Chain A
Amino acid sequence: MERIPILKMGDYLLITIQVDMHDKLALTLQNDLTEQIVTYKSKGILIDISALEIVDSFIGRMLGIIASMSRLLDAETVVVGMQPAVAITLVELGLSMKGIRTALNVEKGMAVLRATLGEERQDGDSSPEF
């Protein structure tokens, strides 16, 4: 079965979307990702869309769903690598991608995750575990 690979990188999971997304593939990705977040106790997800030539409302919605699902499983999502032409088109399309964090590339996305999770960890040190 066709599926999008998910790479484990320390505390994070990296997904590189390189193929034209369709419904079945999106559902498979949601299943695979949520399982891996739980298995590896991942705290951060990076979704690299630099190979995507377009992002339509279907893919935008899928990214939003993945970010929401991940948040429920205590993981932060950062979408990285959006092409400039895609950003221009998304704004005209009316898709603001609210609630989805973005960074220019994987490296910067990792820095965003590190900063966010680092802060949370410091907060967590002072409060009791439950």
Chain B
Amino acid sequence: MSETILSVRNLTANVDGTPILKGVNLEIKAGEVHAIMGRNGSGKSTLSKIIAGHPDYEVTGGEIIYQGQNIIDLEPNERANSGIFLAFQYPLAIPGVSNLDFMRVAYNAKRKYQGLEEIDTFDFEDLIEEKLEVVKMNPSFLERSLNEGFSGGEKKRNEILQMALLDPTLTILDEIDSGLDIDALRIVSDGVNQLKTPDKAHLVITHYQRLLDYIEPDYVHVMQQGKIITSGGKELALELESRGYDFLDDKSTAGVGV
């Protein structure tokens, strides 16, 4: 049996005093791809940010066990360095920070955390050149400021480039497909699929079933009002696609959980 990478147990959380997660349970094993679907405001993006350690959310109960360790008290950078990667729904643009320098600093932060020697500028450039292939990115993007003036698709490719570089154990893709045309979606999904290995786990958060044609999930969960209300195989996503989220409302009011 594969190792459990992530185990979320009865997780509750508030933002500004308002409950936003109301008891989430989720277990992801090595080699698995899980998808979480749901309407806007159902709490699915919140869950991804809480796993990554966003300071705006207050965990009020439950546990987030990552590779056997409760990470609730870890800083966001400690979580990142131990192998958790969140690809942002809206990657931030930071003028003045070169994309290349940023990635080198991030890569070296992880090396330092692992007790390895930092790598120099030249070796890093060789390394990042290889990774550019994964998302078919033009090297000129490295010279630009982080995400500044990037199109929606370019930003998402840049996220996957960072993922390829940092080689995470648990990848969370927060609506990586939103706003992408089919070509960009294909490039991004191909990138993710190339990086899949049996020792890694993926959590894919999306509003649309379309993404799951490209990144095929083993399990699909549906979130509503801060809870996972139903789970199933990939056929659940197709059912949602054909019937819409409304058919779940009965389940929600009946309090059917997983």
Partners in one complex: no
Name B residues whose Cβ lies closer than 8 Å to a Cβ of A: none
